[in-house]
Chain A
Amino acid sequence: MSAATLSPARPLSRRSFLRDTRIVLLRELAPVARDPFSVLFGLVQPLVFLGLFGPLLAGSAGEALGGDVWLWFVPAVLAMTTLFGTSVTGSNLQLDLTSGVHERMLVTPLSRPAQLVGRALKEMVPIVAQSLVVLLVMLPFGLRPDPLGALLTLAQLAVLGVGIGSLSYALALAVRKQEWMFWMVQQTVLFPVMLLSGMLLPLETGPAWMRAASAVNPLRYVVDSGRAAFAGDLASTAVAWGWLAALATAALGLAVGVRSMLRSTD
């Protein structure tokens, strides 16, 4: 090893946000790409719900749901997978905050917003992969969704996941001095959001205050949209509301996340 082997590094004169985002995205994806089966790990919970809750649902509420229980329940399980998977992703950032990885990135000229956006975009990959596995598993059990509807639902969930993932990162940054707070807040928010989305049981049978509370829950619109889309009702207002809710969540999440990232020094 001598001085001669060192090549001169050539820093870019101007930075591009897209290039920075791509760098962060690819770095975050590398462990997933190397070990694709890690994605399956996030499927235990949804499969348990499909296997142990689905049949109960079919037995007790099958009539009320109007026929095909799977077309009603599987989109909800996909939304659940998205919610659970992306809401915990802030813990990855916590690891990087505890080690020196985040600090290392902050000392580089890497754009700070790109550090958040790249991480958030990465969330799309496990969501789509996990959803595809769930769909494949359910085909032999008689699930027959509208193909285009299913595809659009996956896209919508991916957008939603970017938003929830960003919020999870923002949470990790906000509570970085009391790490345990992350899980407390995440768990506290997670279950009300899940139950108030009508994921497991129809909200129509619940009291009026629950229906009112669910009206401000974006996940509810995404779940309703998925059900309509799986049934082939692509032009319905439910689908339009689903997109609006997913995009709004993504926009809000990214805004909050980028703000937290910009402030994450000090």
Chain B
Amino acid sequence: MIRTDALTKDFVVSRTRTVHAVRGISLDVAPGELVAVLGPNGAGKTTTLRMLTTLTRPTSGSATVAGYDVVTHPDRVRAAIGYVGQGGAGGASQVVRDELRTQGEIYGLDRRTARRRADELLEALDLTEQADRKVDSLSGGQRRRLDVAVGLVHEPSLLFLDEPSTGLDPHNRANLWEHVLRMRTAAADPMTIVLTTHYLDEADTFAERVIVVDHGQVIADDTADALKADLAGDLVTLRVAAGDAAALAALAERAPGTRSVRVGAPEADGGRPVEIRTADGPGATPGLLRAADAAGLAVTRVDVARPTLDDVFLGLTGRSLRETGVQGGDEPPGEPTTDLSGTTTKEVLA
């Protein structure tokens, strides 16, 4: 459905400065896949999407979308894809139903069919009551559903969603996804969906495949579960008295399955957490506790956390996705890194 080869995009900001927004992305998306492109702001997600949707010409490399080259046959690509951009698709002073009807006519439907299709989509996306209202009177969630409806008018086999749920509250996000997933399976052949997001849980919950992008490059590409198991591992946090932390860290490093150990900042009550990344947290914890006990280290608290995609991103880049708002910069990571290459490291924060 999508195939890109070393796609790049440079933006010339001034004579002396060129931003390399996308630096060689090669992708292959099969029909029916639901793919999330995850990355911090400025990672190149949206630029990649804009190239795939013919909104921006690639600087180099090639992309074939729905069977056509985006540069040589943009019209064919446009006819085949649906696009829900970051901005609203409905004109503020337009009536909801009219916008859908117009969109249908744009894709070549005759007026009657366009009207029927508009009504179907209004019903499918729970907008029937708002059909005769002006777009600017809709709530945020309703507006976003209209955007999705606009993108689906021509029953595209491939739908692009650019940050579909940004600005929506959790309830509206869940509601939007419910609609998107139902529309996806409503088609005879399940629709291929490519979305960009910086919401970790969104990628985690809905996407069948997660492509992690950072600094304009793909740094990981797999199912969320595989990424978490391979790249992050579970996080076991043992809390001991501050004086025992270094000894416990040394002990934990020798434990089987440990990937990395980090000593957190001392806490007010005199305790200090030791964070252990390990392949199998629940399995490793009893052994860790026994070893600590044998060494005379009193563990006061235990926490075992399954990894999140943020842990994956942290593992890959040394930065947390939640805290990064990198705008194409190349700043060194400001966070202590965990090394996931297999060797164990120890970092004690002073």
Contacts and interface: CB of A to CB of B under 8 A. Distances in A.
Interface in B101-117: 102-109, 113, 116-117
Contact of A100 (B85, B105, B107): B85
A264 to B, nearest CB: 10
A10 B109 contact: yes
Contacts of B153: 9
B289 interface: no
A107 B53 contact: yes
Contact of B106 (A34, A99, A109): A109
A92 B103 CA distance: 19
A265 B116 contact: no
A6 B116 CA distance: 9
Given A103-B55, A109-B75, A7 B116 contact: yes
Contact of A23 (B53, B85, B94, B102): B102
A1 B79 contact: no
B120 A7 contact: yes
A27 interface: yes
Nearest to B120: A5
A7 B107 contact: no
Interface string B142-182: 00000100100111000000000000000000000000001
Interface residues of B, number: 46
Interface in A15-73: 15, 20, 23, 26-27, 30-31, 34
Contact of B81 (A27, A105, A107): A107
B200 interface: no
23 contacts: A1-B123, A3-B185, A3-B186, A3-B188, A5-B124, A8-B155, A9-B109, A9-B155, A11-B107, A15-B108, A27-B94, A31-B94, A95-B92, A98-B87, A99-B91, A100-B86, A100-B88, A101-B90, A103-B55, A106-B54, A107-B53, A107-B81, A109-B106
Interface of B: 53-57, 75, 78-79, 81, 83, 85-95, 98, 102-109, 113, 116-117, 120, 123-124, 147, 150, 153-155, 182, 185-188
Q: Which 4 A/B pairs are nearest by Cβ-Cβ distance?
A: A100-B87, A12-B108, A31-B93, A107-B83
Interface of A: 1-3, 5-12, 15, 20, 23, 26-27, 30-31, 34, 95-96, 98-101, 103-110, 265-266
